[in-house]
């Protein structure tokens, strides 16, 4: 079966959202253009890395190409529901399209085949399914800021080991396996 490459050249929204309670949340990235909606499932750490790398790329683009410093849209977009993911993200890629002054975000499905940098932004019939989104610097910066807020809105970290705390505590490696809360 041929791969599907979902391309959004000028989406209405590109966002991250979650379904479920902290500690049990599932993370989704979603591109929306009118009635067209494509959602992909991902891990919390992937969202954090994407936000961080977008921030770095934006800074580099501003520095090297003299682009205007981007602004952040303060609105909090929410997922279009029901969320029906096309695939689970395995590999992510970022690029700068200098001709269109856009950042390109490409999210590739998990695959057993080896994925290298030649696979990212490739339109051949072979390869994993993909979601490719073109964003202005403002849109990319707004996404990165929103992603950072979503990632940090989960469970608070343990002050001893930095692992996430459940409401009832957790087994802390710094306490030799004792349940945090057992010790006063």
pLDDT tens by residue, 30-57: 999 999 999 999 999 999 999 999 999 9
**Three-state SS across 44-111?**
HHHHHHHHHHHHHHHHHHHHHHCCCCCCCCCCCCCCCCCCCCCCEEEEEEEEEECCCCEEEEEEEECC
Residue 25, CB-side half-sphere exposure with 13 Å CA sphere: 21
Lowest mean pLDDT among 8-22, 39-53, 77-91, 157-171: 157-171
Task: Domain ranges for the chain, please list them.
Answer: 5-153, 156-184
Query: Is pLDDT above 60 for 181?
Result: no
As a CATH number, domain 5-153 is 3.30.2450
135-158 tens-digit pLDDT: 999 999 999 999 999 998 887 777
More confident residue, 112 or 8: 8
Return the pLDDT at 164. Answer: 78
């Amino acid at each position: 079966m041929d791969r599907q490459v979902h391309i959004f050249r000028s989406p209405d929204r590109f966002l991250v959202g979650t379904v479920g309670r902290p500690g049990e949340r599932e993370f989704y990235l979603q591109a929306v253009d009118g009635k067209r909606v494509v959602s992909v499932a991902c891990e919390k750490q992937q969202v954090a890395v994407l936000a961080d790398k977008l921030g770095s790329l934006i800074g580099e683009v501003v520095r090297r190409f003299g682009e205007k410093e981007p602004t952040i849209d303060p609105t909090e977009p929410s997922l279009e529901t029901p969320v029906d993911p096309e695939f689970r993200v395995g590999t992510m890629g970022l690029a700068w399209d200098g001709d269109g002054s856009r950042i390109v975000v490409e999210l590739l499905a998990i695959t057993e085949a080896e994925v290298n940098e030649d696979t990212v932004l490739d339109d051949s019939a072979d390869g994993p399914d993909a979601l490719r989104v073109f964003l202005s610097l403002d849109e990319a910066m707004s996404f990165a800021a929103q992603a950072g807020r979503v990632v940090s809105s989960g469970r608070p970290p343990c002050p001893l080991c930095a692992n996430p705390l459940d409401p009832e505590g957790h087994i802390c490696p710094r306490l030799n396996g004792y349940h945090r809360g057992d010790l006063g």
